[in-house]
Amino acid sequence: MTSPRFLDDAPRFLFFTGKGGVGKTSIACATAVRLADGGASVLLVSTDPASNVGQVFGVVIGNTVTPIGAVPGLSALEIDPEQAAEQYRERIVGPVRGRLPAAQVASIEEQLSGACTTEIASFNEFTELLTDAAWTAAYDHIVFDTAPTGHTIRLLQLPGSWTDFLTEGTGDASCLGPLSGLEKQRAVYAEAVAALSDPDRTRLVLVARAQRSTLAEAARTQAELAAIGMTRQYLVVNGILPEQPAGTSTDPLAAAIRAREQRALADMPEALLSATTDRVALKSTNMVGLLAVRSLLEPEDLPEQPGPAADIAPAPLSALIDEIAARGHGLVMLMGKGGVGKTTMAAAIAVQLAERGHQVHLTTTDPAAHLVDTLAGGLPGLEVSRIDPAAEIAHYTDRVMRTKGAHLDEQGKAMLREDLRSPCTGEIAVFQAFSRVTREAKNAFVIMDTAPTGHTLLLLDATGSYHREIQRQMGPGMHFTTPMMKLQDTEQTKVILVTLAETTPVLEAAELQDDLLRAGITPWAWIVNNSIAAAAPSAPLLRLRAEGELPEIAQVRELKALRLAVVPLLAAEPVGIQALLALGDGVPVSSHP
């Protein structure tokens, strides 16, 4: 067997990290199997909320070490991040429940409901695996599916007392809240961070796809981890479409995808060029079952005969746009994880509405200036603006440091500054910039890409107490409308979730929907983007991949989406007015033989 370079002289701990949907769970499982097949004793640990490790091996795996009977030497453990976060929240909130006003307890619980709490709680769970040599002595290797972010590690490295910092009221309601219960574990955490930073003990493997967005995300992660001393990282580019076998008819879609991927690899961010890199070919089947997992790190044996056509019911984007257009104005917010194409979907909706004669303002945080360049002045009635997240965050951070940070000592300022580096800060700052254009939705359409999560919206409402203060001032019987009420009203605001027809992106979008529902916001529609099944490919490998999408599309259609559009994967990237118009024009999504 050939060995990937990231497995050369493998250390005891291997961490795999990457955006949702890039295949890090599959790579982690394949790594664990490869090491165990080589005679090592291996523990595979998943802290990924979208983990399907149990499904991969066909066994039930929970929060206890479970031997994988079909692979001698391999055991697995799934740490449930939500369960860990719930137990963590209760340890902090339990002692004050009944002693503080209910509204204050609810505010504390909301501060502890975000992604930072979940990640820190998960890290709290597997710290023991990094530091307790006696507990893990039986294993030659421990493979982790999902690594902590640089932001979380920096939080754990902060000096001083988090509890006092929060008690004194100098911290923002962001990510320091989750740290209030960790003071007693500072020494253990310091040892865990030291283990992560030691390349002789730990190897971090960044997993990406051959796409500009996921490679850019990997580069950002690389820089963030390097800044805290984790400099020797490896890169796996997963799911690269291989060349079509000689002698088979050329599928234009397959040829275009391969050319696009090769361009992305040729233009890889400079920060990744120094990383030891492995490339893994796209497989024809989903990574479920031991046979599939063992094949992942091997060269692809391409199918020569096409699989069955994957038929799906038509669900054109134009049907959603018809319903949006009927009211004549309003706010449309597109949400979704990075890399699912929400910026393109926002642009397509905006262009279609403008084409129908409506006044439209498309506002985005997308760094891809080519979209703005293509649209600017391209259609009457379409205004395009770009919000610079870095500038907005800098402005917001400066204002908080000048107010809340004015009377802090140097240690307090350092803690506040780190708190302001959290993802929550970015969403709050950008949303405040978005809010400046929402007034236009009374007379025109405002299309927003990227929208904040429900957790961030609740934080805004809780920390500013704006909604409750308006209620108190107006008194009973008075009518009023706050920004939160506008977002909760589907007549005024339509929230659209964008995902891909893959297990992890669908699960992450479902979790985002639950997050919004907590804030009283019901998603108006879902868009499944870049569907291979909807594109009706002829290449054998793509036909098989299309068949694997059908259960995911069915899950979205039947269980979650009030309305659904399925947008096909296109041979050419949808950049430019005409291409964006075509996305909404009802491109056929039923396949042909």
Instruction: Note whether 121 and 88 are within 8 A (CB).
Output: yes
Determine how many CB atoms are found less than 10 A away from the CB of residue 264: 20
Task: Collect all residues with Cβ–Cβ distance below 8 Å to 70 and sequence separation of at least 6.
Answer: 57, 290
Which position among 365, 504, 531, 538 bears the catalytic label?
A: 504
Q: Would you say 350 and 362 are in contact if contact means Cβ atoms under 8 Å apart?
A: yes
Q: Is-catalytic flag, 25?
A: yes
Omega prior to 450 cis, within 30 of 0: yes
Task: List all residues 6 or more positions away from 131 whose beta carbon is below 8 Å from its beta carbon.
Answer: 188, 191, 192, 195
In whole angstroms, give the CA distance from residue 27 to residue 370: 33
Task: Indicate which residue of 48, 80, 419, 515 is catalytic.
Answer: 48
> Which of 19, 24, 283, 494 does the annotation list as catalytic?
24
| DSSP secondary structure code for residue 560 in this structure | I
Q: Is 584 annotated in the active site?
A: no
Integer Cα distance of 590 and 309 in angstroms: 9
Active-site residue flag, 520 = no
* Neighbouring residues of 568: CB distance < 8 A, sequence distance ≥ 6: 530, 531, 532, 534, 535, 536, 587, 589
What is the token pair recorded at 452?
């904040």
Q: What is the Cα–Cα distance from 507 to 48, expressed in whole angstroms?
A: 11
User: Among this protein's residues, is 337 annotated catalytic?
Assistant: no
Catalytic residue among 18, 19, 20, 26: 26
| Set 18, 20, 23, 177: catalytic member | 23
Is 489 tagged catalytic?
A: no
Q: Which of 17, 18, 19, 21 is catalytic?
A: 21
Q: Which residues contact 387 (CB under 8 A, 6 or more apart)?
A: 363, 364, 365, 430, 433, 434
Sheet strands (E) in 365-458: 382-386, 445-449
Q: Is 442 a catalytic residue?
A: no
Q: Which helix (H) or strand (E) holds 421?
A: none
Residue 442, strand partner residues: none
> What number of other Cβ atoms are within 10 A of residue 71's Cβ?
21
Which among 17, 25, 46, 422 is annotated as catalytic?
Answer: 25
φ, ψ of residue 111 to 5 degrees: the values are: -60, -25
The yes-or-no answer on residue 425 being catalytic is: no
Instruction: Please identify every residue annotated as catalytic.
Output: 21, 23-26, 48, 504
